[in-house]
Amino acid sequence: MHRHSESPTARIHVGRTDSEVTLEVSAAGHGFQASSPEALRDAEDRGIGIRGMRERVRQLGGSLEIDSSSSGTLVRTVLPLHQDGSST
């Protein structure tokens, strides 16, 4: 995130319940303006980073959310767990 946001720090949080794992990465950099779903898709089309993350998360049956503003960006991924405690 530093390369894109110019934030000197990032926060990483990993959480787990019986049914899912949540990973959140946030940075207080300048973020990017995605004022609409179309703007976010345009940002994804310009590079492979977000598109690659979405594809990998989708393959694992999870979800990916990105919340970005001029005060920072939060990327949240939720992955389901199988009965044995592993993802997919």
Look at the domain 2-79 and name its fold. Answer: Heat Shock Protein 90 (3.30.565)
Digit-coded pLDDT (tens) for 18-48: 999 999 998 887 666 655 666 666 666 665 6
Residue boundaries of the structural domains of the chain: 2-79
Token pair for 31: 């973020």
Digit-coded pLDDT (tens) for 4-19: 556 778 899 999 999 9
pTM exceeds 0.85, yes or no: no
Cα–Cα distance between 46 and 39 in angstroms, integer? 11
Cα–Cα distance between 64 and 75 in angstroms, integer? 7
